[in-house]
Amino acid sequence: MKMHILGIAGTFMGGVAALARELGHEVQGSDQAIYPPMSTQLEQLQIQLHQGYDAANIADDCEEIVIGNALSRGNDAVEAVLNEGRKYNSGAQWLSENVLPGRDVLAVAGTHGKTTTSTILTYLLQAAGLEPGFLIGGVAEDFGVSARIGKGRAFVVEADEYDTAFFDKRSKFVHYKPLVAILNNLEFDHADIFENVQAIQKQFHHLVRTVPGRGKLIVNGEDHYLAEVLQMGAWTPVETFGLDASQVQTKSSNPDLAFDWTARLLKDDGSHFVLVHDGVDVGEVKWPLLGRHNVMNALATFAAANAVGADVTAITGALEHFNSVKRRMEVIGEFNDVVVYDDFAHHPTAIQTTLAGLRARVGDKRIVVAMEPRSNSMRLGAHSDALAPSLDDADEVVFLHRPELAWDAGKVVSALKNHGTTAKDADDLIAQLLAVVKPGDHVVFMSNGGFDGAPRRFYSELVSR
């Protein structure tokens, strides 16, 4: 079959393209913004890419058009598809019809950490010999791609709560009908489509309704919003994970542990911990990832792997060689004792936890943050009041204030615990960073967009100056 994917360079739709290509389909696509790492993956798959949404880019002999949720009515390509009566579908529906039937689907949902958690889970299932398929919203370093069909029954999918398409306003994850669902956390986000957190909770409960009784719900036991979701009704066994004071206990001394899965931290930065299940030590984990939030992500994945029959005791050591995902605290390079990272964090909670993990690792060395408010919620100002506190661990912040930003970034900068400035564009931001950076610094670029290539441009100028 010949397919055209509108919005192909998005992290989800790029994965759909990879799966379709692996199934033998001829795939082409269009997008407005095409940048690494997804553009690199598509080029390596030899998928024909078109810049922009010109209807003429869709070949006459395409048998199916898959439309991403970034496109809406009024888009030239969308209007042409509708007017010509061509067959179209959403990416989530295509996945549910062409890849997921007959598979044991493990869906990873949550406001934060979906991509990292999905990648950890896939890595553990691979280590357990289950040869899983997957679709992850990022390029996994250990697999080199964001999606593959896999040879086993297990299929890991990053389960996004964002809406499916302009013609299907349900959350993507209601299409997946998982056997195991991880509910990692829940906060208000996506202010462009959700009025409040209750609207998001309703969608999460729609996901809960689709998980069969023989399956498993793996739920963050610390999250009160998720507890409220479960109170709406749950028909599937629930296992909880979390970290609290009980983590230092053993089952013999405390038979009423708060969580089914927890950890005893051996290093404050989260890079070394003991996995504990039902109060019994399972094994030690040493790995490259940092932060309490990543320990929580790992707990969820061990619980999910256990739910589909993996021998968790045998795979705790596997994470020592885990390489995570591109753009999740990805080290761009180190020069003159300056380390440069590219990170996808774009919600205040994710920003705070990421920087807290880095702070625990680097001690009193300076952390310099370059921030682009790129997500729809950020640009609408939904998180502006929480931004400054989320940056408390940063010693220096340069905030990209593009002209189209609808709110005053200067108010955020003035509320920072430490020093900050605004930049009018990426060139200005890079110049300001070069003026303040010094040996020993850790420079973190934070954006869920292309950031005009700023992380690598900055590193290149740092090396050449």
Q: Could you tell me whether strands 2-6 and 64-67 are parallel, antiparallel, or unpaired per DSSP bridges?
A: parallel
How far, in Å, CA of 243 to CA of 247, rounded?
A: 6
Model confidence over 44-100: pLDDT tens digits? 888 989 999 999 999 999 999 999 999 999 999 999 999 999 999 999 999 999 999
In the predicted structure, residue 403 carries a pLDDT above the cut 80: no
Tokens of 39: 């553009």
Range ranked top by mean pLDDT from 22-31, 332-341, 398-407: 22-31
CB 75 within 8 A of CB 35: no
Edge-to-edge strand order for the sheet containing 133-135?
A: 147-148, 133-135, 154-158, 104-109, 180-183, 216-220, 238-241, 261-265, 272-277, 280-286
What does the pLDDT read at residue 127? 96
How far, in Å, CA of 13 to CA of 135, rounded?
A: 10
What does the pLDDT read at residue 254? 42
How far, in Å, CA of 376 to CA of 434, rounded?
A: 29
CB 109 within 8 A of CB 117: no
How far, in Å, CA of 194 to CA of 199, rounded?
A: 6
What does the pLDDT read at residue 384? 64
Tokens of 197: 């957190």
What does the pLDDT read at residue 247? 39
- Measured in residues, the chain has a length of 465
Angle between helices 197-209 and 224-231 (to 10 degrees): 50
How far, in Å, CA of 64 to CA of 27, rounded?
A: 10
CB 190 within 8 A of CB 162: yes
* Torsion, CA 384, CA 387, CA 388, CA 392, rounded to 10: 170
| Neighbouring residues of 67: CB distance < 8 A, sequence distance ≥ 6 | 6, 7, 78, 81, 88, 89, 90, 91, 165, 166, 167
Domains of the chain: 2-90 (3.40.50.720), 99-321 (3.40.1190.10), 330-464 (3.90.190.20)
pTM: 0.78
**pLDDT category, 112, cuts 50, 70, 90?**
confident
How far, in Å, CA of 10 to CA of 293, rounded?
A: 25
How far, in Å, CA of 118 to CA of 107, rounded?
A: 8
Mean pLDDT of 320-344: 85
What does the pLDDT read at residue 350? 80
- Alpha-carbon Rg for the chain, nearest whole angstrom, is 22
List helix spans (H) across 223-347: 224-231, 292-307, 312-315
Mean pLDDT of 323-339: 83
**pLDDT above 90 covers what percent of the chain?**
63
